[in-house]
Chain A
Amino acid sequence: MSLPLQDLCRVAPEIVLCAFAMLVMLLAPIVPRARHGILSTISVLGAGIALAATRFPAMYPGAAYSGLFRADAFSLFVHWIVCGAAFLVILGSTSYLQREDLDAGEFCALILLATAGMGIMAGAQELLTAFIGLEMSSIASYILASYKRDAPRSNEAGMKYFLLGSFATAFFLYGIALFFGASGSTRLDMMTPLANDSARTLLKMGLGFIFVGLAFKVAAAPFHLWAPDVYEGAPAPVTALLSTGPKAATFALALRILADVGAASPLWFWALWVAAVLSMFAGNLAALVQTSLKRMLAYSSVAHAGYILVALATAAATDHAEAGIAAALFYLVGYALVQLGAFLIVAQLGGPGERHVEIEDFAGVARRQPAMAACLSLFLLSLLGLPVTVGFLGKFYVFNAALESNLIWLAILLGLNSVIAAYYYLRVIVAMYMLREPEQEIAAEPVPWTLSLVLWIASMGTVYIGLFPARVIGFAAKAALNMR
């Protein structure tokens, strides 16, 4: 029997996030437009406090609200990722909002609400709770994607995301219904023994639909088609958020289902395998021919979803589930840091209206803005998986986990894809450092200190974890063990 107070502690980060979201919403009409910077500051503070508030669930681990929610090392780890991502995105987008003359209040509040939803997904132990979390984050994301109301591309992105997202949500919801029908409960940890064959079939279909819903959210092939259009159309800081936080939370939910529902592992294994391979190839091959950096990064994010799916497939191969889960968590940390940094740099260097996001626009950036070029190169090298960066170790752990579970082919395809990916990442670096600047001058805007701080954190993290991964992988392993 747990006290309500302890239950509150277990969802403390979500409470903080929601409270700050509402505070910002309420303040937005009062604060004059010119001083909207203060709203960003409050929101950054909110995300920071939420990050600090993860101390409470850490103090009182266990199930909350009759088992709907669970605070353990795993959910804690994912909370760090999503709250950290929100913190960095809000901080890094303050100058963007001013430059594009966008309303800061709603923007920040929506990010905070979306993050609360992601936190709920990370801790959900019951499918309907997970669904609420998923919808909280999704609906906020739809609005954020179309946040530039006067830009057709942004509107288009939001509309597409919304329509297709609803489609996927329908599958997810239907999957929950079938799951309930089969097992008599929506609790993941309270599966009753299946009555008969038809119940088993129901469960299979239910899990299948749930898989589709989740695969859509992480933009895994063949459900990835929305991602390039949405990522390209949405404002770049929003893309930074979309490609990190929700992905981490959705992968967390998938891992939770894998760990708790015994039937999911054998069922999902091949689906994960196929989705992993398809995502890697679809993402990398399409990224090869892109001319827009933003779109290229979108495809690359599909490919990275494929790499993480390799880790999930490893976790589903039962033998070394812990290694697979730990590898996925570690990968998510490194990926979030780098992807955030890269999209925020695109937001900055794209200039007003994000007009300069073609790869050829990045020619000569090294001369115009050496620090930005160095940071972006570091992030791209990490995405590529070069040693000294966190990306290398992330790939290494996934690779090693796959090998140790005898998924030789997945490991080989992962290696092959890393090689393919080298081409398009390096192309950008070549453009920045070796190509002549374009004819028409692109003005070098001064980098605001908030963005510098975010990039500093991201690049230091990339190198630090790349050199000394022990803390992070140690905690990821602990989180993985904690789930079983």
Chain B
Amino acid sequence: MMPAEYFLAHIWMIPLFPLAGAALMLLIGRRLPNRAVSAVCVGSVFLSMCFAFGAIWQLIARPAADRLVSFNLFDWVPAGAMHTNAGNLMDLHVPWGVLMDPLTAVMLLVVTGVGFLIHVYSIGYMGHEGGYYRFFGYMNLFMFSMLTLVLANNLLLLFVGWEGVGLCSYLLIGFYFLRKSASDAGKKAFIVNRIGDAGFLLGLFLMLGTLGTIQFTELGPAITAGHFEFGNGTLTAIALLLFVGATGKSAQLPLYVWLPDAMEGPTPVSALIHAATMVTAGVYMIARTNAVFSMAPRALEVVAVVGCVTSLFAATMGLVQNDIKRVLAYSTVSQLGYMFLACGVGAYTAGVFHLMAHAFFKALLFLGSGSVIHSLSGEQDMRKMGALWTKVPTTARTFVVASIAIAGIPPLAGFFSKDAILGHAFEHSPVLWLLGFITAGMTAFYMFRLVNMTFFGKSRVDHEVEHHIHESPSAMTVPLTILAALSVVGGWVGWPESLGGSDRFAQFLAPVMAQHGEETAAAASSINSMEYLLMALSVAIAAGGIWLAYRLYIQRPEMPEKIAASSGFLYRLLYRKYYMDEIYDAMFVNRTKDLALTLGAFDRNVIDGLGVDGSGWLTRFTSRVSMWWDSWIVDGLVNLAARVVWILSYPVRMLQTGRVSRYALFMLIGVLIFLGYYLRSSGFTLQNLLH
């Protein structure tokens, strides 16, 4: 008989299972057979999932006002006395603590649920690869870090998870480390994330100094207690710095460049880390600290604009890519932009809703693409695919479901979440809505361009590959099917009121966002004809995108080439990703290298040159002066330097003679100096002594 709320009381155990799995793999995994590796690692994630689902169930069973569990496991960083910016002395203790509320519940559902499915899928996908234990060890380590991130009840512990997932991302992107492009991509991801993390850390410090707390549940009260006015400059700075961290982790402008390259990693990694979970950590963090963001309208403005522009920008690049995983990577960047747009207009709930829906269908898309790549013996170029519909039936059908979902066709998940975001964006600013709306059309187009090029039309598969085409094993197709089902029904929890639902998802999350969530309240009350119009429009543009893709890639397959040729510059611009990598290389990477080279040159030319060569030049140039110069200044300098060193080292040599009497003498001198100081300071003089 389990005590009531057993799982809620033991949420701290959720990350421990994958941690144990990772420790086992990285210590003795090399000696284990593959079956044992998969049993341990998938089993550990399964246990996490069971505990997580149990906890979610018990949280939902509570009354809505009482859905918050937070407790500290132990005092983790007792940093001691510290002054806040207001001048108060505080005793800083950062606990290792867990927090469970509706927002955590959603993230737990996504991380453990999707994570488990991807682990199962990996059994099939990675079956023939070397380093099987290493792969699963890293994956489990990732699960541990991500769950730590999600369950943390303070920003510092969240940062531990944040860095942990970054590390695992690096390790897994560079999993095929013998391939230079893979190890380069890993390094790129790591370095670009460092830039964001610097912002995160500064934001954390500033928050600690300003509010005196980094506990999530105390942020709102601290802001109230501190009497910060709406739009306070310091709070805005905190919010912006945290957002810098989010742009790094969640691949937003200008730090998105690492994510497309991250596709060098194995496909399950792309699905788990670079689509469903880690990259959404930025969105989660902003939703978590919404108390701060909601007080900083300027920062929110920035978040909204960056999100919106990123979403459009990435979508345009996705239009022309030929690598199946790269299309999906740009799509991920674009969809993450939507989530930030939602947060930026204050609709955190909509952002998290899209996060969840996106996790389902984007994980499915990546896993599906992995299945395609697997069946084509590693081919990733869509120009060498086509007509796979009948050859890999399960993969193809689930893939199409996910594509419909991401395109935003009702009643699949993407429709509801995207529509919620666009609706809120429209209330905030029609311009943001328009950009998001155009992006929606592009999304539908590039997704169905991908579907058509891969599964329909004529086969362009290489001959020798053609014979080996096979549907993937059931370890891969079963997760695909489950994710497809989730992509269909996953959005129904957020069925909006305007369509006869009750938007339970928003109600569920409302307590977390309640303190400043007037946006959600306003949104709930404004059921009007405008909303129907917006919905109709977004469905129409999605359908338009799909139709265009069908027209271009099925009916008139020669057209894309012609269009590309006729709009050469634009096409090249998009195909080369706006030359962003080149621009960054030119602006930052090469400048950093230049700085290093300049310093080196300074060393060689100025220090060596002026000091040594320069003196030689002078010597040659003025022969008579040089005689004098040489013998008096140059030699003099050298001799002087030697002399200075010799003199400076004299005390040391004199001290460390090894002679005891010398040592004693120096002790005595030390004693006299100390005592002399004491006696002086007490006004003691020789006269006193004599009297």
Chain B residues with Cβ below 8 Å from A208 are 671, 674-675, 678
Query: Known contacts A404-B81, A469-B78, A470-B74: does B677 contact A270 (CB below 8 Å)?
Result: yes
Q: Are A167 and B81 in contact (CB under 8 A)?
A: no
Q: Say yes or no for B77: interface residue by CB 8 A criterion.
A: yes
Q: Select one of B663, B675, B684 contacting A164, CB under 8 A.
A: B663
Residues of B625-673 at the interface with A, using a CB-CB cut-off of 8 Å, are: 652, 655-656, 658, 660, 663-664, 666-667, 669-671, 673
* CA–CA, A205 and B157, complex, Å: 52
A160-B660, A400-B80, A401-B80 known; A205 and B678 CB under 8 Å?
A: yes
Q: Is A249 an interface residue (CB 8 A)?
A: no
Q: Take A212-B670, A470-B75 as given contacts and tell me if A163 and B664 are in contact as well, using a CB distance cutoff of 8 Å.
A: yes
Least CB distance, B94 to chain A, in whole angstroms: 10
CB contact list, A263-297 vs B, under 8 A: 267, 270-271, 286
Kindly state whether residue A397 has any CB partner on chain B within 8 Å.
yes
Chain B nearest Cβ from A32, distance in angstroms? 39
A160-B660, A201-B682, A204-B678 as given contacts; A400 in contact with B81, CB under 8 Å: yes
If A167-B664, A171-B671 touch, whether A201 touches B81 (CB-CB below 8 Å) is no
Let me know if A370 is at the binding interface, CB within 8 A.
no
**Shortest beta-carbon distance, B657 to chain A, in Å?**
9
In Å, the complex CA distance between A159 and B658 comes to 12
Q: Evaluate whether A164 and B76 lie within 8 angstroms (CB atoms) in the complex, with A201-B679, A204-B679, A205-B675 already known.
A: no
Q: How far is the CA of A135 from the CA of B678 in the complex (A)?
A: 27
Q: Pick the contact of A323: B81, B93, B652, B679 (CB < 8 A).
A: B81
Interface set, chain B 367-422, CB cutoff 8 A to A:
none
A407 to chain B, nearest CB (A): 14
Q: What is the distance, in angstroms, from B15's C-beta to the closest C-beta of chain A?
A: 15
- Does the CB pair A222–B670 fall under 8 Å? yes
Do A201 and B684 touch (CB < 8 A)? yes
Q: What chain A residues lie within 8 Å of B677 (beta carbons)?
A: 270-271
* Interface positions of A from 214 to 248, Cβ below 8 Å from B: 216, 222-223, 225-226, 228-229
A477 to B105, CA, bound (A): 38
Interface residues of A in 190-224 (CB under 8 A from B): 200-201, 204-205, 208-209, 211-212, 216, 222-223
In the bound assembly, the distance between CA atoms of A477 and B76 in angstroms comes to 15
Q: Which residues of A contact B74 (CB under 8 A)?
A: 468, 470
The docked-state distance in angstroms from the alpha carbon of A75 to that of B74 is 26
By the criterion of a CB under 8 Å from any partner CB, how many residues of chain A are at the interface? 40
A216 to B655, CA, bound (A): 15
Measured CA separation A228–B647 after assembly (Å): 22
Assess whether A267 is in contact with B678, with CB atoms less than 8 Å apart. Answer: yes
Given A205-B679, A208-B675, also A164-B81 (CB < 8 A): no
Partner of B674, one of A212, A225, A404: A212
Q: Which B residue sits closest to A473, measured CB to CB?
A: B78
* Contact of A168 with B by CB under 8 A: yes
A474 and B671 form a contact (CB under 8 A): no
- A286 contacts B652, C-beta separation under 8 Å: yes
Known contacts A171-B671, A400-B79, A400-B80; decide if A225 and B655 are in contact (CB<8 Å).
yes
Chain B residue at minimal CB-CB distance from A470 = B75
Residues of A within 8 A of B77 (CB): 469-470
- How distant is the Cα of A470 from the Cα of B682 in the complex, in angstroms? 43
Contacts of A171 in B (CB 8 A): 671
Question: Which residues of the partner chain A approach B671 to less than 8 Å between Cβ atoms?
Answer: 171, 208-209, 212
Interchain CA distance A473-B80 in the complex, whole Å: 9
Q: Closest A-chain residue to B677, C-beta based?
A: A270
Bound form: Cα–Cα A396–B77 in Å: 11
Q: How far is the CA of A474 from the CA of B76 in the complex (A)?
A: 11
Q: Kindly state whether residue A320 has any CB partner on chain B within 8 Å.
A: yes
A228 to B82, CA, bound (A): 38
Complex contact B670–A468 (CB within 8 A): no
Whether the Cβ atoms of A168 and B667 lie closer than 8 Å is yes
Residues 79 to 98 of chain B near chain A (Cβ within 8 Å) = 79-83, 93, 96
Beyond A401-B80, A470-B76, is A225–B666 a contact (Cβ under 8 Å)? Answer: yes
Interfacial residues of chain A within 41-88, with CB under 8 A of chain B in the complex: none
Contacts of B667 in A (CB 8 A): 164, 167-168, 212, 216, 222-223, 225
Cα distance, A171 to B673, chains bound together (Å): 14
Task: Establish whether residues B81 and A470, one from each chain, have CB atoms under 8 Å apart when the complex forms.
Answer: no
Q: What's the minimum C-beta distance from B10 to chain A, rounded to whole angstroms?
A: 20
Measured in the bound complex, the distance between the Cα atoms of B83 and A404 in whole Å is: 8
Residues of A within 8 A of B678 (CB): 204-205, 208, 267
CB distance from B212 to the nearest CB of A (A): 16
Neighbouring B residues of A323 by C-beta, 8 Å: 80-81
Q: How far is the CB of A406 from chain B (nearest CB, A)?
A: 11
Alpha-carbon gap, A229 to B679, bound state (A): 33
Q: Mark A319-345, 1 if CB is under 8 A from B, else 0.
A: 010010010000000000000000000
Tell me the complex Cα distance, A438–B670, Å.
Answer: 42
Q: Are B674 and A211 interface neighbours, CB within 8 A?
A: yes
Closest chain A CB from B587 CB (angstroms):
31
**A400 surroundings in chain B (CB, below 8 A):** 79-82
Which residues of chain A have C-beta atoms less than 8 A from B682's C-beta? 200-201, 204
Cα A401 to Cα B80 with chains together (Å): 8
User: Across the interface, which residues of B come within 8 angstroms of A468, CB to CB?
Assistant: 74, 76, 96
Q: What's the nearest-Cβ distance from chain A to residue B661, in Å?
A: 9
Q: Take A204-B678, A474-B75 as given contacts and tell me if A222 and B666 are in contact as well, using a CB distance cutoff of 8 Å.
A: yes
User: B221 to nearest A CB, angstroms?
Assistant: 25
Query: How far, in Å, is B19 (CB) from chain A's closest CB?
Result: 13
Q: Is A229 touching B658 in the complex (CB atoms < 8 A)?
A: yes
Minimum Cβ distance to chain B for residue A290 (Å): 11
Give chain A residues whose Cβ lies under 8 Å from the Cβ of B80: 323, 326, 397, 400-401, 404, 473
Q: In the complex, which residues of chain B have a beta carbon less than 8 angstroms from the beta carbon of A320? A: 81
Contacts of A201 in B (CB 8 A): 679, 682, 684
> Hey, what's the 0/1 contact readout for A146-184 against B, CB within 8 Å counting as 1?
000000000000011001100110010000000000000
Name the residue on A nearest B684 (C-beta).
A201
A164:B670 contact, CB within 8 angstroms: no
Given contacts A201-B684, A400-B81, contact A163 B670 (CB under 8 A): no
Question: How many angstroms from the CA of A200 to the CA of B76 in the assembled complex?
Answer: 46
Which residues on A sit within 8 Å (CB–CB) of B660? 159-160, 163-164
Complex alpha-carbon distance, A222 and B654, angstroms = 14
For B96, list chain A residues within 8 Å (CB): 468
Measured CB to CB, the closest approach of chain A to B682, in angstroms, equals 6
| Cβ–Cβ contact A225 & B663, under 8 A | yes
- With the chains together, A323 CA to B675 CA distance in Å? 28
Binding site for B on A (CB under 8 A): 159-160, 163-164, 167-168, 171, 200-201, 204-205, 208-209, 211-212, 216, 222-223, 225-226, 228-229, 267, 270-271, 286, 320, 323, 326, 396-397, 400-401, 404, 468-470, 473-474, 477
A212-B674, A229-B658 known; 7 other A-B pairs, CB under 8 Å?
A: A160-B660, A171-B671, A201-B679, A228-B656, A400-B82, A470-B74, A473-B80
What are 21 A-B pairs at a CB distance below 8 A?
A159-B660, A160-B660, A160-B663, A164-B664, A164-B667, A201-B679, A201-B684, A205-B679, A209-B671, A222-B666, A222-B667, A223-B667, A225-B666, A271-B677, A396-B79, A397-B80, A401-B81, A468-B74, A469-B78, A470-B93, A474-B78
